[in-house]
Every structure is written in structure tokens, then in C-alpha cells.
Chain A
């Protein structure tokens, strides 16, 4: 299987793959890095958005 990279299509088996995981307060981020002869030739990033965004109503204010 070939993989698209900055060097064009390279054989998957010729690549070293490293997953870099970063967890923040509102996200989980996984960067999959592809190295060819120790050179970074591809980097995919997937972010999972973990924290919902909320707009609080003014019911409390109305209720005194």
C-alpha cells in the first residue's frame, strides 16, 4: 500500500509511524506522524472536541 506524502507516494512499510497524543481541557488531539529516513513526510491530526459550548439563559435573573 502506498501513502501520499510530501515526497509523493511512498510504500507504507517503508515509513515509521508515531502517534502523538495531546489531551487538553476541551479536546483530545492525536497527531499521526509518518517518517521516511527520519524525515517527517506526513502529519495527520484528528481533534475530538470534548467540551460543549453553553449560553446560560437569564432565567435566574428574571426569577430574582
Chain B
């Protein structure tokens, strides 16, 4: 077997686990997993790849919805298969008995432990909820199907 050029798969998993720090602005204070949250945004928002952190601007509001959203269940550590490292929340994200009358279409997952820094945005099309539950079912947690893949 010859040598090859590659980003090490273990490094990808390490990135998801916060092991490496190329910069000098490391602020981590503990060794436990961070807390991640999920906030919902109105269709008038402009979230996407350029989003850097949670903001209440254009966030939904309504009965039983708390600004900042809900916590994301994170019971499954990042892992890898083949050369892909991946992670998926270990349970659906649920907003219970909410009334969100203004159309919204995007969820922002962010790290509430690390200065609310953004992780991902996901647009699921415009919707409203009335005195009901809003549920985001997660994809299968595997290489190429997980919510986050470092391929």
C-alpha cells in the first residue's frame, strides 16, 4: 500500500469533537459536550451560509415559543464511516403546543455554550402552526445521510 494525500478521517471526527485549535482564540472551558439549540425564523429572514451566530432578528414569536428556541438532544457522539465523519441530533426537535401565526421556513442550530455560534441553517419551506406541535424529524445518522457530514 502506497502513501497517499488525505485529510485524516480521525481529524474530521476530532473537528466535530472540538479537539484541534489552529487559531489562538480558544475559549473552551470544559471537556463536556456543548449545548446546542434550535431557533425558528420567519420567511423574511436571510439566514444561510453567512450566518455566524444566533440572533433574535426575524426569529418567530408566538404562544409557548421562547426566544432562542429549544435544546437539541445530543446523546450520540460524532463518529465516522469510510472517510466521512458525521453527526445527527439523537431525537426530533419538537416545539410543543405552539401558535406561530407568521410564516416561518428555517431552523438555525447553534451552540449556546460557545457564544451562540451558528452550526447550520435548514430551510423546510413556509409554514405556520396553530395550537399544535411543530416537529423536525432528523435524517438517519450515517455517512452521507446524517445531518452534518464532513466528507
Contact = CB atoms under 8 A, between A and B. Distances in A.
Interface of A: 4-6, 22, 24, 26-27, 29, 31-32, 34, 40-59, 62-63
B145 A52 contact: yes
26 contacts: A4-B97, A6-B99, A24-B125, A26-B123, A27-B124, A29-B125, A32-B132, A40-B130, A41-B130, A43-B129, A43-B132, A45-B135, A46-B135, A46-B137, A47-B136, A47-B137, A49-B122, A49-B137, A52-B139, A52-B144, A52-B145, A52-B148, A55-B150, A57-B7, A62-B7, A63-B5
Q: Which 3 A-B pairs have the closest CB atoms?
A: A44-B132, A43-B130, A27-B124
Given A27-B125, A49-B147, A54-B151, A6 B139 contact: no
Contacts, number: 99
Contacts of B146: 52
B70 to A, nearest CB: 14
B132 A45 contact: yes
A1 B136 CA distance: 26
Interface residues of B, number: 34
